[in-house]
Structure 1
Amino acid sequence: MPPTARSVNNDLSIDLVNPSTPLFPGSVILGHAVRKTAIDAPSSVIRVRLQGRAKAKLVADNGNGNTTYRSRFNFWNESDVAETIHEGNLTIASGQDLSRPFSLTIPMDTSAKAVNAGRSEKEKQASFVKSPGIGSKEIPEQTLPGTYRVDHSSFSKKWHGYVEFWIEAELAVRSGRGKTKVTKAKLPIRINGARTRPITDFGLASRKMPGCVSSDLLVPGTDRADLSLKQKMRKVFGSSKVPGFHYKLEVTYPTVVQLGNPASVPFLLRLLPD
């Protein structure tokens, strides 16, 4: 289940105007579809579209063999984010090339219609994303996720999944006999998660845990002394005569985290005498 690979050649390729510019939901992708091979076609169409999808695969060993579970869905329909950049006669002489600009706007959200397409009721009910309230069982639209990949394995399971986006250019040339030859180019791109304001409320919570340190070396002035056999035996048997320091460890930790937040994760440890 490999992600979409880069696929370009002289027949059709994709060049971005600013390939190093970070992309986010709502960003505009500027680029060119380029052909460097000679052609003389009276009827042709060049389309460019943005594609996005999520795929996952789980292989579980049940003792008698492997069971494979798969899931995949598109974030929008194929023609939702597309542009026709050429239509009609296409003539390119040998040694020349053709470059047509395109502009594609990255959606802010997924399309509920596309995500639910082909989903069974069981699959919709299994989704952890639910519509608010009671009523529709459809999976609702969500903020567009960023490019992501995960691979993991355990003793009896292996799973991996990813969120991917790519630009696809398509050149369709119709011959005089009514046949159409289609040439495609694909360029994977990275889209970051939606930009949000950094949070300042991390929902801090605290927990106190009691503890005790027992040692004859806690007595002032004995920190470098050698313990006698008697003292060592009292330590081994947990005698109440061994001096002890009782304390509470207070842990303050966040219950809310935000990826990409420039602030440090608020995590505090305090040792309090008890």
Structure 2
Amino acid sequence: MIPQDIAHKDDLRLDIAAPLSWRYSPGDTIIGSVVRNSPIVSPEATLKIWLTGTISIRILRAGSNRLYTDHECYINKWTLLKPKEYLIFSGPLHHPENSKQPLSWSFSLPIPSKPKAYITDSHQPHATFVPFDQNHPAYNILPGTLRACSSGYSPRSAAAIEYELHARLYYDRGGSKKAHYATLPITLRHSPGGADIHHISKGGSSYPRKVRSQRLLPEMKDKELSFRQKTNKLLASSKVPVFWFKMIIESPPVVQVDNPHPLPIRLSIATLLGNDRTSKIIEDVPQRVQINYVKILVKSSTTVIAPGGFSSSVHTGRQDSVVDLHFEDAFKNLESPLVLYSSVKANENIDLGNLFQLVLRRNGLYTNGKRCSSTPTRYLFPDCCTFILKHTHQFEYRINLTIAGETQEVEVFVPVRIIEAA
């Protein structure tokens, strides 16, 4: 992008016949116009437009002082599209000083459906995530727009898949050559995931957790503990029953954005038996588990690769980000708390997806047709793996629960592949 050209929109600007948030697909046609408001008189002028597409990454390594004031920087850039200029005007220009109507040239520019044929030229096969094989899907579809940057005062790595529309007005003026430029970012959709799909659930579980309390005994559930009983509990006495458990979450391995089917997310709790596990006295006692709320975070990871200083060496970097879907806010509207009971086989479950009608849309998570967050969620770029970057996701579930009067938070991590809307 050329900053000095953006500042002079009267000299040249690009207007697109689409909303600002419009996302194109590979193979679409961009329809718009190039506009000039400033006066001009020239015996000969040419106006050309072209589209660029790049994948660029940067990896920053700390130096010996572990600060980024002393660092090594590795950059890798791949050009996705073959340079091709389209002539949309050639001839004399005359636009008077006080003209109320700007000069305008309409155009329609096709977007290629796949990367250029010689995309691997000048690149090294060991410094890419994609084999040098034209049959690989990466060679047959343009990747969608993506931006990722590690957080912090001095970002350690960054990655972007970007497309830009360019225009150049080249003209004679008083015997000298002049040029004005305009640049406009174009957002490209990722490859659609096909028709709407029914999500299939996949299991994930927490690390073993425990609760130590006399209230785990049925007869002690509602009784006041004596001073001695409280002391035994505090000292982790063997006289105090222990309940070992793990939370199990059925979570979709694939989520399609804007899919109307509720996400199949189910909670259950398994009693853990065996040595140093649940006390024998309560092995057959189903424990009441109150689900206070569930927080869902989407953790995105972008891995990038760049060639090193030697013929076979590479450098990799990763940037992570987290998006809070604010699902816990939906629990404030429940008339009564969610409750399930433990068992060795975790037979009982709570179907959160159907209960709340959970749907992931482009601007956030929805429950019963309403967005959980009061403001739009930061856009989640779909999963993708292209030449020098991989973008993946996982769900992090934080389940706040109460057992026998003891409240704790349990975390469960489940990989998920987010795909573009159909």
The answer, yes or no, to whether TM exceeds 0.5 is yes
* 2:60–2:72 contact (8 Å) kept in structure 1: yes
Q: Following superposition of structure 1 onto structure 2, how do residues 197-236 of structure 1 map, counting pairs within 5 Å?
A: 197=194, 198-202=196-200, 204-207=202-205, 212-236=210-234
Which residue number corresponds to residue 181 of structure 1? 178
Residue 11 in structure 1 maps to residue 8 in structure 2: no
Residue 84 in structure 1 maps to residue 87 in structure 2: yes
Which residue number corresponds to residue 112 of structure 2? 107
* 1:60–1:156 contact (8 Å) kept in structure 2: no
Extract unaligned runs of 5+ from structure 2: 270-341, 345-422
* 1:251–1:270 contact (8 Å) kept in structure 2: yes
1:265 to 1:12, Cα distance in 2 relative to 1, 3 A? same
Distance in 2, Cα, partners of 1:232 & 1:84: 85
Deviation at 1:205, TM superposition (A): 3.3
Residue 59 in structure 1 maps to residue 50 in structure 2: no
Q: Deviations over 1:134-161 (max 9, x none)?
A: xx79995253233322221469961222
Deviation at 1:98, TM superposition (A): 1.9
* 2:149–2:158 contact (8 Å) kept in structure 1: yes
The one-letter amino acid of 2:122's match is G
Deviation at 1:54, TM superposition (A): 2.3
Deviation at 1:49, TM superposition (A): 1.3
Distance in 1, Cα, partners of 2:82 & 2:241: 72
Deviation at 1:102, TM superposition (A): 0.5
Structure scoring higher RCO (CA < 8 A, sep ≥ 6) equals 1
Q: Secondary structure at the match of 1:116?
A: coil
* 2:120–2:132 contact (8 Å) kept in structure 1: no
Which residue number corresponds to residue 70 of structure 1? 75
Distance in 1, Cα, partners of 2:2 & 2:262: 36
The one-letter amino acid of 1:94's match is E
Extract unaligned runs of 5+ from structure 1: none
TM-score normalised by the chain length of structure 2: 0.53
Which residue number corresponds to residue 98 of structure 1? 103
The one-letter amino acid of 1:11's match is D
Which residue number corresponds to residue 23 of structure 2? 23
> Please, what is the CA RMSD of the aligned residues?
3.4
* 1:109–1:144 contact (8 Å) kept in structure 2: yes
Distance in 2, Cα, partners of 1:137 & 1:194: 17
Which residue number corresponds to residue 273 of structure 1? 343
Residue 150 in structure 1 maps to residue 153 in structure 2: no
Which residue number corresponds to residue 40 of structure 2? 39
Residue 118 in structure 1 maps to residue 122 in structure 2: yes
Q: How many residues align?
A: 262
The one-letter amino acid of 1:45's match is T
* 1:14–1:34 contact (8 Å) kept in structure 2: yes
Distance in 2, Cα, partners of 1:4 & 1:165: 14
Q: Secondary structure at the match of 1:94?
A: coil
* 2:203–2:248 contact (8 Å) kept in structure 1: no
Q: Secondary structure at the match of 2:220?
A: coil
Q: Percent identity?
A: 27
1:248 to 1:39, Cα distance in 2 relative to 1, 3 A? closer
The one-letter amino acid of 1:250's match is I
The one-letter amino acid of 1:168's match is H
Q: Secondary structure at the match of 2:150?
A: strand
Distance in 1, Cα, partners of 2:207 & 2:151: 34
